[in-house]
Structure 1
Amino acid sequence: MPTQNFSYTFTTSKPIDKVFNILIDPQKWWYGLHNEIITGKSEQLNDIFIFDAGNGVHHTKQKLIEVIPDKKIVWEVTDSNLTFASKADEWTGTKIGFDISTKDNHTQVVFTHNGLTPEFECYEGCSSAWTQYLEKLEKELN
């Protein structure tokens, strides 16, 4: 049985370029639930941003490693400190990204956290948090 990475898919009537411009900037969608602080940039290849949340509980550093305008965004987690997990660097080396496409005259967004699998200690809590952020984003885009 193949390993199942966390994934979330939704569609919106918003134009693909507008959706892409929101997704490329984590400050526009990865906020509002757990006292997030996002610093750095995420607009061009190799840009780096830092995500802190939960008053020190979650700290990660992401590097933009792939960007295809209006189609694909991928960040690699280059550093992580999840203080609630026994393996605090569990996210290091995983990849977070969006695939964006047109489907039935709508924009389809597929989010995948490649490497966040049920074997991870934080899988339940992290996948639940991702779902909260992505449901909020989906609601804001519809």
Structure 2
Amino acid sequence: MPNICLTFGTKTPASDICAALTTLEGLASWWTRDTAGDPKQDGTVTFTFGSNGGFDMRVIKVAPRQVHWECIKGPEDWIGTRIEFEIQEEGSHNQLMFRHAGWKSENPFFHHCSTKWATFLLSLRDQLEKGEGRPFPDDIKIEASGM
């Protein structure tokens, strides 16, 4: 099964990274402003992207250096996939390891989501380091004209 795997390094403390992944305010600051629900373990978080729809994520793991979700509602290609954030200490910085695992196939939507995840992870990095992310609807657009 194909996976989307991305990473970035930051001097931001692990506790601040976790707050950006485990609080509604934190999540809304880098992914989509329309974020609601319960980001604690066994909770469900809803992420909405205007008329593009959205996703419901069941929070399956919250630990000091790990956050894992399972998509339980959204586009069919996402249902059952897992989103995993792992923070690894690398001497002078923390490395955020991201994986969107369990895709059934590499199709055009998979490729689109891979690029969008990259833009949103850079939004997360900017939120952590500069205090200003680019969550939807202010995210970097990648669609071609006419799409």
**With structure 2 as the length reference, what TM-score do the two structures score?**
0.77
2:31–2:123: 8 Å Cα contact kept in structure 1? no
State the secondary structure of the residue aligned to 2:31.
Answer: coil
Count matched residues: 126
Query: Residue in 2 aligned with 1:128?
Result: 115
Query: Residue in 2 aligned with 1:137?
Result: 124
Query: Residue in 1 aligned with 2:13?
Result: 15
**How many angstroms apart in 1 are the aligned matches of 2:112 and 2:53?**
12
- Cα distance change on mapping 1:117 and 1:5 into 2, 3 Å: farther
**What stretches of structure 2 of length at least 5 have no aligned partner?**
130-147
2:70–2:80: 8 Å Cα contact kept in structure 1? yes
Matched, 1:28 2:29: yes
- Calculate the aligned-residue CA RMSD, in Å: 1.8
Query: Residue in 1 aligned with 2:94?
Result: 107
TM superposition shift of 1:139: 2.6
**Higher share of residues assigned strand:** 1
Deviations 1:52-110 (A, max 9, x none): 11x332321101001112x10000001113xxxxxxx1100000120012102211101
Query: Residue in 2 aligned with 1:74?
Result: 68
- Cα distance change on mapping 1:129 and 1:117 into 2, 3 Å: farther
| Percent of matched pairs sharing the same residue | 26
TM superposition shift of 1:29: 2.3
1:30 maps to amino acid: W
**How many angstroms apart in 2 are the aligned matches of 1:135 and 1:117?**
26
2:21 maps to amino acid: L
Moved over 4 A (4+): none
**With structure 1 as the length reference, what TM-score do the two structures score?**
0.79
